[in-house]
Structure 1
Amino acid sequence: MEADILANQLKERKINPTAMRLLVLDQLIKSDVAMSLVDLETLLDSADRVTIYRTLKKFEEKKLVHTIEDGTGSIKYAICESNCKCNTAFTHAHFHCTQCEQTFCLRNIHLPDIKLPKNFQAEQSSFILKGICDHCSVK
């Protein structure tokens, strides 16, 4: 994606568009799957792991990405939709392929609003489906 467009996306979220932030954002936007820190570190081989991590945390803080704990022990990051409420509660489901180990946002599968008992306060929610993705099922 063009650097100017990426920079504008960052500026809209009040994020300073550094070279590393532009690279990480570009990789996340290009990806069809959620990416881990290790995934990004592999793709951006000249980048420092700590800098990538700090970039992801800044993106999460500014609600540009949301995190997914898919049971692999590695947190995955995916671009938020413009109306995303992911940092307060997931609004959509995720799918983890048990063969290729990729995790996908299922943006068309919305989670119901759950009424909690009195004095219960949810801090996080997730809905992970596990199975075989369309790419692996045709092999």
Structure 2
Amino acid sequence: MEVQEIEKILENKNIPITPMRQLVLSEFLKTNHSISLAELEEILETADRSTIYRTLKTFEKKGLIHSIQENNTTQYLFCHDHCDEDNHHDYHLHFFCTECKNTVCLENINFQNVDFPKDYLIKELKFVANGVCKTCLLTMQ
């Protein structure tokens, strides 16, 4: 992806542009599955762990990525749901493949119309399914 497109995405989310933020966003745009802090550290070998972590937290706060806990590790996924600083709209299924260990968003399976009792304030929902993804399933046949 071109630098101008990455800068536009950051500007649209009111995130100040820095070289590290450009690099991290570029990695999210290259993949269709989750990325952990440790994976980003491996990819961005010369980057400082705390700088990557602060970048992830900024992205999450601004609605550019969302996080999900799996196997005691925080995984981050790019938000395609028009999330913003005030609201994350990631009420969709997250699918964890037990073979390749990747998590993907299955946005076509959403839970936006779940009726909760009126006397409950829901601040966050996490929906995760475990199984075998279509790529791994093909290799098993």
With the length of structure 2 as denominator, give the TM-score of the two structures: 0.90
Distance, in Å, in 1 between the alignment partners of 2:82 and 2:56 is 19
Partner of 2:132: 132
In the TM superposition, 1:53-132 aligns within 5 A as 53-69=53-69, 71-81=70-80, 83-84=82-83, 87-88=87-88, 90-132=90-132
Runs of 4+ in structure 1 deviating by more than 6 angstroms, as ranges, are: none
Which runs of no fewer than 5 residues in structure 2 stay unpaired? none
With the length of structure 1 as denominator, give the TM-score of the two structures: 0.91
- C-alpha deviation, 1:138, in angstroms: 1.8
**Could you tell me which amino acid in structure 2 is paired with residue 110 of structure 1?**
N
User: How many residue pairs end up in the alignment?
Assistant: 138
Kindly report the root-mean-square deviation, in angstroms, between the aligned alpha carbons of the 2 structures: 1.7
2:105 aligned counterpart, secondary structure = strand
- Give per-residue Cα distances to partners, 1:95-135, cap 9 Å, x unaligned: 00011111011111111422222321112111111101112
Farther-moved stretch of structure 1 (31-40 vs 78-87)? 78-87
Distance, in Å, in 1 between the alignment partners of 2:45 and 2:36 is 14
Which runs of no fewer than 5 residues in structure 1 stay unpaired? none
